[in-house]
Amino acid sequence: MKHAVYPGSFDPVTNGHLDIVERAIRIFDRLTIAVLTNPQKNPMFSTEDRMDMIREAVKPFHADIQVDAFHGLLVDYTGQIDASVIVRGLRAVSDFEFEFQISLMNRRLCPEIDTIYLMSAAEYTYLSSGLIREIAILGGDVSGLVPAVSARYLKQTASRS
Ligand code: PNS
pLDDT in tens, 7-17: 999 999 999 99
Q: How far is the CA of 64 from the centre of ligand 1 (A)?
A: 23
Using CA positions, which residue lies closest to atom 12 of ligand 1?
A: 74
Residue in 124, 116, 122 with CA at minimum distance from that of residue 147: 124
Task: For residue range 106-156, list pLDDT tens digits in order.
Answer: 999 999 999 999 999 999 999 999 999 999 999 999 999 999 999 999 999
Assess whether 91 carries a catalytic annotation: yes
- pTM comes to 0.97
Residues sharing a CB contact under 8 Å with residue 43, sequence separation 6 or more, in sequence order: 9, 11, 50
- What per-residue confidence (pLDDT) applies to 160? 78
Structure confidence at residue 82 as a pLDDT band (50, 70, 90) = very high
Residue 90 — pLDDT band, cuts 50, 70, 90? Answer: very high
Which 3-state string (H, E, C) describes 50-74? Answer: HHHHHHHHHHHHCCCEEEEEECCCH
pLDDT value for 58: 98
CA of 8 to the centre of ligand 1 (A): 7
User: In this structure, are residues 66 and 157 in contact, taking their beta carbons and an 8 Å threshold?
Assistant: no
pLDDT of residue 94: 86
Q: Which atom of ligand 1 is nearest to the CA of 75?
A: 18
**What DSSP string runs through 1-25?**
--EEEEEE--TT--HHHHHHHHHHH
Q: Does the structure show a pLDDT above 80 at 161?
A: no
Please give the biggest Cα pair distance in the chain. Answer: 46
The mean of the pLDDT values for the chain is 96
pLDDT value of position 1:
87
Query: Which residues' Cβ are closer than 6 Å to ligand 1?
Result: 7-9, 36, 73-74, 102, 105-106
Measured distance CA(88)–CA(69) in Å, rounded: 16
What is the per-residue pLDDT across 51-80, written as a single tens digit (0 to 9) for each? Answer: 999 999 999 999 999 999 999 999 999 999
